[in-house]
A and B are shown apart, each in its own frame.
Chain A
Amino acid sequence: MQFKDRFSQVFSKFESGLNGESKLPVHQLRKDALQSFHEASFPTVKDEDWKYTNVSVLADLNFELASSADEALLMPILEKSKYSDENFCHLVFFNGIFQEHLSDIIDQPGVFAGNLKTGLKKYPEVIEKYLGKYATHKDGIFTALNTALMSDGAFIYLQDGKVIEKNIQVIYVNGDKAPVSINPRNLYILGKNAQVKVVEAYEGVEGAVYFTNKVTESIVDANGYFEHILIQDESTSAYHISTTEVDIERQSVLKNYNICFGSAIARNDINGRFNDQYGELTFNGLFIGHGKQLIDNHTLIDHAMPNCQSHELYKGVLGDMSRGVFNGKIYVRQDAQKTNAFQENKTILLSSDAHIDAKPQLEIFADDVKCTHGATIGQLEESQLYYLRSRGIGPELARTMLINAFADDAVQNITIDEVRESVEALIAEKLA
């Protein structure tokens, strides 16, 4: 059965299960998205944006919409990946379904951190105003599909001047006996001067086959600060397609860390726009692949306004027969004078069968700008390995130390110690 036919059936089932919810305005958005889904073409390697990533396998699998979760199966993974209660509020989703009893919803005057469904009751106008405006269903088949099938996700909303002191960890734990389709839809809205740090983690039951197709929209109003850490450690038999849209206003700072270790095929699209002057975007990434994994990172930073800064550092470590893609677009529009854009991509190949396609893509239409970019591909330095071994350190630990040192650049500016330490431990685990 074709991909589109399969998901039309999935949608019909989904819609009939909505009952009263189908009366909400958001359902019109779903129906429009379904229309776009049918009009969009399924990507093939002939499309420039999908040149290195063949997702035709998605059309061959009989995905059903996830409608339940086996708590006994998912609970141990949640326990393992959950950060401390001391530093974090948790929003937990099993197969995309919100687990209220395992979560800490924040609902205070002017501040909400919880799930989208609850948010829709509390702040319907806010959600209606922003949802689907940044990641639109015209943006390609996967965003259209997510929008058509969206039922829940994380919703974080801070009104002007609000700060959430505790960090928030949004955790999706996925996996079932049958191949399920999971469509998380996250919306983060920060008002003027608002601040929050959010870890958005995707974890899975190793060996489970499923398809996570997530969309996140982040909007940061003037002078806001948003630190957003994506951690993807899904089952290596799963498929993970991730779209993250970022939109920042005057003098705002947004830092996105894209840490990707899991899934058979991972495709991350992260798109950022400066809507006003003096903004600052950081897009850092770290990906580690092994086996036959494919990790594809596409980023876009749109310098639509003058006097903004962007900083982008992507580091990859690829072993076995794994493959990686880095495609980093930077647009500097004609009016965007005094832009300062830095982009760097470095990859270490641990085996002769590992492969990376690196493509920096800068399109600059302004003349008074500073833009630098670089891409390197290398291996671990034998002389460094020998030096460490000559001090009594075994080859595995020596490799881990060097890879950690290599990778650290991309994550060292994460301001939450617990997250940085856990990422380092994960790196060691992945390389063992």
Chain B
Amino acid sequence: MLLEIKNLRAAIDGKEILKGINLTINKGETHAIMGPNGSGKSTLANVLAGREEYEVLEGEVLLNGKNLLEMAPEDRAREGVFLAFQYPVEIPGVSNTNLLKNALNEIRKYRGEEPLDSMDFLNLIKSKMKLVNMPQDLLSRSVNEGFSGGEKKRNEIFQMAVLDPMLGILDETDSGLDIDALKVVANGVNVLRSPEKSFIVVTHYQRLLDYIVPDFVHVLYKGRIIKSGDKSLALYLEEKGYDWVKEHTDEFMAV
């Protein structure tokens, strides 16, 4: 078992968003979390990554048996959690290379490994760039500064590929992407999938799941997982629409 979420309740600005989430993710599994706007999808992603604005009210999250909620955001990353942001932040003056080099070496230090030398680092970067068709110039540019929406999302997947997490969390990575960009991003994720790695794919639309095919689909509504199933659940949801789910929650849960 890689990740175990037990009765997780969380709030922001005093407003409870997550109202008791239970979810277990095994090694090698990809889970999709779907739901209408405001259902708590992004909150879940950010609580797992350690965003400090969110207040955990109750519950437990274990990563490889370790208490994730007690860890600082950087320690979660060092333990193998990666969040691909819905809205990647622009950091003028910090180059992508600088960020990745520091991140890799901080993670390696935590694990008791020597820092990468420049050659090894460059080789690693080059091999990962091919994965997501990263143009060379994005490397030396400031993190996300002046990037198009597609470039920002691609950059998130590129960072994920370099940092090689145990658990990748994709927070609406498909939003704002055209179909070509979506394919590039999905391909980048698929290449990383392995029996050792797990993913949580948070999305509003079924579309992304055509390309990143999940093992499980969960429907989040009003801060709770109201239904779980396999990939066919996503298609059902696409057909019926979230409004139907809202209006016929009991009926939907019984399906």
Contacts and interface: CB of A to CB of B under 8 A. Distances in A.
Contact of B106 (A394, A402, A408, A409): A394
Contacts of A392: 74, 77-78, 103-104, 106-107, 110, 163
B49 interface: yes
B113 to A, nearest CB: 13
Given A401-B98, A401-B102, A390 B77 contact: yes
A388 B91 contact: yes
A395 interface: yes
Contacts of A102: none
B12 interface: no
A374 B159 CA distance: 35
10 contacts: A387-B143, A388-B102, A389-B50, A389-B77, A390-B77, A391-B74, A391-B100, A394-B106, A395-B72, A397-B106
B230 interface: no
A408 B95 CA distance: 12
B81 to A, nearest CB: 8
A391 B98 contact: no
A405 B85 CA distance: 22
Contacts of B99: 388, 391, 393, 401
B159 A391 contact: yes
A386 B85 CA distance: 11
B57 interface: no
Interface string B52-83: 10000000000000000000111011100011
Interface residues of B, number: 32
A52 interface: no
B88 interface: yes
Q: What 9 pairs across the A-B complex have the smallest Cβ distances?
A: A405-B93, A392-B77, A391-B103, A389-B73, A387-B89, A392-B107, A389-B74, A405-B94, A392-B103
- Of listed A390, A406, A409, residue having the most chain B CB within 10 A: A390
A390 B73 contact: yes
Contacts, number: 78
Interface residues of A, number: 22
Given A386-B51, A386-B73, A391-B159, A404 B89 contact: no
Contacts of A409: 93
Interface string A386-428: 1111111111011001101110110000000000000000000
Interface in B136-190: 142-143, 159, 163
A405 B110 contact: no
A391 B106 CA distance: 9
A334 interface: no
A387 B159 CA distance: 12
Contact of B85 (A387, A394, A398, A406): A387
A158 B52 CA distance: 59
Given A391-B99, A391-B159, A405 B73 contact: no
A19 interface: no
Contact of A393 (B74, B83, B85): B74
A237 B192 CA distance: 56
Contacts of A395: 72, 74
B92 interface: yes
A379 interface: no
Contacts of B91: 384, 387-388, 402, 405
Nearest to B50: A390
A111 B147 CA distance: 50
Given A387-B88, A392-B107, A393-B106, 6 more contacts: A384-B89, A386-B73, A389-B50, A389-B74, A391-B74, A391-B103
Nearest to B102: A393
A84 interface: no
A383 interface: yes
A401 B163 CA distance: 19
A381 B94 CA distance: 13
Contacts of B73: 386, 389-390
Nearest to B91: A384
A394 B93 contact: no
Interface string B37-57: 000000000000111100000
Interface in B98-125: 98-100, 102-104, 106-107, 110
A402 B94 contact: yes
Contacts of A397: 102, 106
A383 B89 contact: yes
A391 B77 contact: yes
Contacts of A390: 49-50, 73-74, 76-77, 82-83, 85
Most buried by B among A384, A388, A391, A398: A391
Given A386-B51, A392-B163, A406 B103 contact: no
Contacts of B98: 401
A407 B51 CA distance: 26
Nearest to B165: A392
B52 A408 contact: no
A404 B93 contact: yes
With a 10 A CB-CB cut-off, give which of B76, B88, B102, B159 has the most chain A CB atoms: B102
A89 to B, nearest CB: 31
Contacts of B89: 381, 383-384, 386-387
Interface in B3-31: none
